[in-house]
Amino acid sequence: MTRQRYRRRTPPGSAPGTLVADPEAARSSVSAIGYDATQFFERQDLTAEEVRTLKGGAELLWISVTGLADVGMVEELGAVFGLHGLALEDVINTHQRPKVEEYDDHVFIVLHTAVEASRVQTDQMSIFVGPGFVLTFQGQELNCLEPVRERLRKGRGRIRQYGADFLAYSLIDAAIDNYFPLVENLGERLEKLEDAVTIRPEPGQLPQVHRLRRELLDLRRTIWPHRDLVNALIRDDIPFFEDQTRIYLRDCYDHLVQLIDLIETDREIASDLGDFYHSSMSTRLNDIMKVLTLIATIFMPLGFIAGLYGMNFDRSVSPWNMPELGWVFGYPFALGLMALCAGVMLTYFFRKRWIGPPARWRRKKGNPDG
């Protein structure tokens, strides 16, 4: 995963509300959905003037802007709905912390949602809630909003019976629930990595553990501020949000708590997995060193005996110079002496429990039916 780095595009000292688009931002497109309990219409690829004509054409109007490259479009829509310049600046600069801000005639909400289920990548979604309208801005097309549009098209549930606050709740709920596939994907990756480290630790697994821990940390840092956002909508006297909608927002808060609990649990498992990996590698290294030390220890007396009989003393000078060289069984005697030394040392190591029988022997001994 590539860690996201945010760069402030507005020059230092610029006037408040200055809008500077990201050079890599996607092309802006505007869509609209208007509805009430009995009627519904949907429009695509609108201009700011067309949005102005639609305003008032339905009891509730949802304007969705995808792509933030067209700063002029954002300013024109802000003029149509009377949006504050500082809020529009936060829409363009997509590195804002999730928050709720109150203005005279509208409420500004910033949150982030997951883009993909396979990696930690998020996109900012800005929501304006006012009398008879909901205006959303996002940097790219978000699939999590499509179920909300589908519910509006088919008139399922209570969404077309309630006001702008319930639509805003539905969008927030969809953005928060969109984190669950990502968290589940990270959990599955963690389980596979845990099994691999437990069965056979390898050097290439440690970078995977660190990468997964960093992704979980980034995800936690992204989700955690949403608790304050939803809590403010529930407990504070936010305009345009009715008590009946706050009941549903409690469900969003519960989902956030559940997400944070899952992430914290996975982070602890990942941390323990790193410690377990180091412990397993140390144990494996100790076992290897023990085997090598035992082999070296066994061969030390054998090398001494071989070196002793390799000394070239002349037997004709003295009868004490290597008398075994003249024996008929001198060579078998030397080999037997080496085998005896090795056997004595292995027996000693076994009794001291420095070495033991193979694991399959121990299993057979403990289980007569095995």
Averaged over 45-63, what is the pLDDT? 85
Structure confidence at residue 259 (pLDDT): 92
In this prediction, residues 181-195 reach a mean pLDDT of: 86
pLDDT band at 361 (very low <50, low <70, confident <90, very high): very low
**How would you write the chain as a 3-class SS string?**
CCCCCCCCCCCCCCCCCCCCCCCCCCCCEEEEEEECCCCEEEECCCCHHHHHHHCCCCCEEEEEEECCCCHHHHHHHHHHHCCCHHHHHHHHCCCCCCEEEECCCCEEEEEEEECCCCCCCEEEEEEEEECCEEEEEECCCCHHHHHHHHHHHHCCCCCCCCCHHHHHHHHHHHHHHCHHHHHHHHHHHHHHHHHHHHHCCCCCHHHHHHHHHHHHHHHHHHHHHHHHHHHHHHHCCCCCCCHHHHHHHHHHHHHHHHHHHHHHHHHHHHHHHHHHHHHHHHHHHHHHHHHHHHHHHHHHHHHHHHHHHCCCCCCCCCCCCCHHHHCCCHHHHHHHHHHHHHHHHHHHHHHCCCCCCCHHHHHHHHCCCC
In the prediction, which pLDDT does 2 show? 44
Identify the pLDDT of residue 5: 52
Measured CA to CA, the distance from residue 262 to residue 257 in angstroms comes to 9
**Confidence band for 370, pLDDT divided at 50, 70 and 90:** very low
Return the residue matching tokens 């009794």: 351
Judged on CB neighbours under 10 Å (0-12, 13-18, 19+), 96 is middle
pLDDT tens, position by position, 229-239 = 999 999 888 88
Q: What is the pLDDT of residue 239?
A: 85
Give the residue-averaged pLDDT of 306-334.
74
**Please, which pLDDT band fits residue 350 given cuts at 50, 70 and 90?**
confident
pLDDT at residue 224 is higher than 80: yes
Provide the pLDDT for residue 357.
67
Per-residue pLDDT band for 13 (boundaries 50, 70, 90) equals low
Q: In the predicted model, what is the mean pLDDT of residues 325-346?
A: 81
pLDDT score recorded for residue 137: 93
Overall average pLDDT of the 196-215 stretch:
77
Task: Give percent above pLDDT 70 in the chain.
Answer: 88
Contacts 24+ apart (CB under 8 A), 69-74: 69/21, 69/22, 69/25, 69/26, 69/27, 69/28, 70/21, 70/27, 70/28, 71/19, 71/20, 71/21, 73/28, 73/30, 73/48, 74/19, 74/28, 74/137
List of domains in the chain: 29-278 (3.30.460.20), 311-366 (no CATH)
User: Which of 59-68, 218-227, 286-295 has the weakest average pLDDT?
Assistant: 286-295
pLDDT digits (tens, 9 = 90+) for 77-125: 989 888 988 898 888 888 889 999 998 889 999 999 888 767 788 889 9
Q: pLDDT tens digits for 133-171?
A: 999 999 888 888 989 999 888 877 788 888 899 999 999
- Once rounded to an integer, what is the mean pLDDT over residues 333-352? 83
pLDDT at 93: 84
Q: If we measure between CA atoms, which residue out of 135, 161, 157 comes closest to residue 59?
A: 161
Q: What pLDDT is attached to residue 85?
A: 87
Average pLDDT (3-9) is: 55
Q: What gap in Å lies between CA 77 and CA 52, rounded to an integer?
A: 8
The predicted pLDDT at position 177 comes to: 92
Residue 355 pLDDT exceeds 90: no
